[in-house]
Amino acid sequence: MGFGQKLLNKLTMEGIIDLRFCKEGDILITSQGLKMKYLEPTLAGHFYDHHVQYLDGKYKRSLGTRTHSGHVMKFHRKPETDNDIVKIIKKAEYENMAK
Protein backbone atom coordinates (compact mmCIF):
# COMPACT_ATOMS: atom_id res chain seq x y z
CA MET A 1 0.00 0.00 0.00
CA GLY A 2 1.46 3.35 -1.07
CA PHE A 3 1.77 6.49 1.03
CA GLY A 4 -1.14 8.18 -0.80
CA GLN A 5 -3.52 5.33 0.01
CA LYS A 6 -2.32 5.21 3.62
CA LEU A 7 -3.02 8.93 3.98
CA LEU A 8 -6.48 8.56 2.42
CA ASN A 9 -7.23 5.61 4.71
CA LYS A 10 -6.21 7.68 7.76
CA LEU A 11 -8.33 10.64 6.68
CA THR A 12 -11.28 8.35 5.94
CA MET A 13 -10.99 6.70 9.37
CA GLU A 14 -11.11 10.17 10.90
CA GLY A 15 -14.26 10.94 8.89
CA ILE A 16 -12.52 13.34 6.52
CA ILE A 17 -13.17 13.06 2.78
CA ASP A 18 -11.42 15.42 0.37
CA LEU A 19 -11.94 14.75 -3.32
CA ARG A 20 -9.15 17.20 -4.18
CA PHE A 21 -6.78 14.26 -3.52
CA CYS A 22 -8.48 12.16 -6.22
CA LYS A 23 -7.17 11.31 -9.66
CA GLU A 24 -9.18 10.09 -12.65
CA GLY A 25 -10.23 6.47 -12.14
CA ASP A 26 -10.08 6.41 -8.33
CA ILE A 27 -12.96 4.45 -6.81
CA LEU A 28 -15.38 6.13 -4.43
CA ILE A 29 -17.63 4.25 -2.02
CA THR A 30 -20.89 5.96 -1.06
CA SER A 31 -22.78 5.97 2.22
CA GLN A 32 -25.43 3.81 0.52
CA GLY A 33 -22.80 1.20 -0.47
CA LEU A 34 -22.53 2.06 -4.16
CA LYS A 35 -19.30 2.33 -6.13
CA MET A 36 -18.46 5.41 -8.15
CA LYS A 37 -15.50 6.44 -10.26
CA TYR A 38 -13.81 9.80 -9.91
CA LEU A 39 -13.70 11.58 -13.27
CA GLU A 40 -12.31 15.09 -12.86
CA PRO A 41 -12.69 18.43 -11.12
CA THR A 42 -15.39 20.68 -12.53
CA LEU A 43 -14.51 23.93 -14.25
CA ALA A 44 -13.90 26.99 -12.10
CA GLY A 45 -17.13 28.69 -11.17
CA HIS A 46 -19.25 25.51 -11.38
CA PHE A 47 -21.64 25.15 -8.42
CA TYR A 48 -20.19 21.72 -7.50
CA ASP A 49 -16.53 20.77 -7.37
CA HIS A 50 -16.09 17.29 -8.93
CA HIS A 51 -17.52 15.02 -11.65
CA VAL A 52 -18.18 11.37 -10.74
CA GLN A 53 -19.80 8.34 -12.38
CA TYR A 54 -21.84 5.56 -10.78
CA LEU A 55 -20.47 2.07 -11.45
CA ASP A 56 -23.34 0.00 -10.05
CA GLY A 57 -26.86 0.13 -8.68
CA LYS A 58 -29.87 1.72 -10.32
CA TYR A 59 -27.79 4.73 -11.36
CA LYS A 60 -25.13 2.64 -13.15
CA ARG A 61 -23.19 4.75 -15.72
CA SER A 62 -25.00 7.92 -14.62
CA LEU A 63 -22.90 11.01 -14.11
CA GLY A 64 -23.02 13.21 -11.04
CA THR A 65 -21.20 15.89 -9.12
CA ARG A 66 -19.92 16.17 -5.57
CA THR A 67 -18.52 18.82 -3.26
CA HIS A 68 -14.86 18.71 -2.15
CA SER A 69 -16.07 16.88 0.97
CA GLY A 70 -17.88 14.23 -1.09
CA HIS A 71 -21.42 15.39 -0.37
CA VAL A 72 -24.24 15.25 -2.93
CA MET A 73 -25.67 18.56 -1.78
CA LYS A 74 -24.04 21.72 -0.47
CA PHE A 75 -27.21 22.58 1.46
CA HIS A 76 -30.39 20.70 2.48
CA ARG A 77 -28.57 17.37 2.88
CA LYS A 78 -30.47 14.12 3.40
CA PRO A 79 -27.95 11.67 4.89
CA GLU A 80 -30.48 8.84 4.94
CA THR A 81 -30.78 8.86 1.12
CA ASP A 82 -27.85 10.88 -0.29
CA ASN A 83 -24.98 8.92 -1.84
CA ASP A 84 -22.27 10.88 -0.05
CA ILE A 85 -18.70 9.64 -0.45
CA VAL A 86 -17.40 7.80 2.63
CA LYS A 87 -14.26 6.13 1.23
CA ILE A 88 -11.71 6.78 -1.51
CA ILE A 89 -9.70 3.90 -3.00
CA LYS A 90 -6.84 4.86 -5.29
CA LYS A 91 -7.13 3.32 -8.77
CA ALA A 92 -3.93 1.25 -8.44
CA GLU A 93 -4.95 -0.06 -5.03
CA TYR A 94 -8.39 -1.04 -6.34
CA GLU A 95 -6.85 -2.85 -9.31
CA ASN A 96 -4.57 -4.78 -6.92
CA MET A 97 -7.59 -5.75 -4.80
CA ALA A 98 -9.35 -7.13 -7.90
CA LYS A 99 -6.47 -9.52 -8.71
- How many residues in the chain? 99
Beta carbons within 10 angstroms of residue 97's beta carbon: 9
- Contact criterion met (CB below 8 Å) for 11 and 42: no
Helix (H, G, I), strand (E, B) or coil at 84: coil
With 60 as the cut, is the pLDDT of residue 99 above it?
A: yes
Provide the pLDDT for residue 62.
92
pLDDT of 33-78, one tens digit each?
999 999 999 998 778 899 999 999 888 989 999 999 888 876 676 7
Q: Where are the domains of the chain?
A: 3-92
Rounded-to-integer distance, Cα 49 and Cα 85, Å:
13
- Over residues 74-86, mean pLDDT: 76
**Greater model confidence, 23 or 75:** 23
Beta carbons within 10 angstroms of residue 30's beta carbon: 21
